[in-house]
Amino acid sequence: MFELTADHEDFRRTVRDFAEAEIAPHVGEWDREYHFPADLIPKMGELGLFGLVVPEEFGGHAGDGGEFTYLCLAIEELGRVDQSMGITLEAGVGLGINPILTYGTQEQKERWLPDLAAGRALAGFGLTEPDCGSDASGTKTKAELRDGEWVVNGSKAFITNSGTPITSVVTATARTGTRENGKPEISAIMIPSGTPGFVVEKAYDKLGWNISDTHGLTFDDVRVPEDHLLGERGKGYGQFLATLDDGRIAIAALAVGCIARMLEESAEYAKTRMAFGRPIGANQGVSFQVADMAVMLETARLLTYRAAWLKDEMDAGRRSLSEVKQAASIAKLYTSEAAVTSTRMATQIFGGNGFMEEYPVARFYRDSKILEIGEGTSEVQRMLIARAFGL
User: Which residues belong to the active site?
Assistant: 375
The DSSP secondary structure of 183-226, one letter per residue, reads PEEEEEEEEETT-TTEEEEEEP--SS-TTS-EEEEEEEEEEEEG
- Rounded to 10 degrees, what is the CA torsion of 217, 222, 223, 224? 0
* Bridge partners of residue 177, in order along the sequence: 185
CA distance 171 to 230: 8
Question: Could you give the C-alpha distances from 364 to 170, 231, 318, 354, in angstroms and in order?
Answer: 28, 38, 37, 10
CA distance 244 to 377: 12
CA distance 383 to 243: 18
Nearest CA to 135 among 388, 391, 380?
380
Q: Which residues contact 13 (CB under 8 A, 6 or more apart)?
A: none
The three-state secondary structure class of 173 is strand
95 contacts 247 by C-beta, under 8 angstroms: yes
CA distance 353 to 63: 46
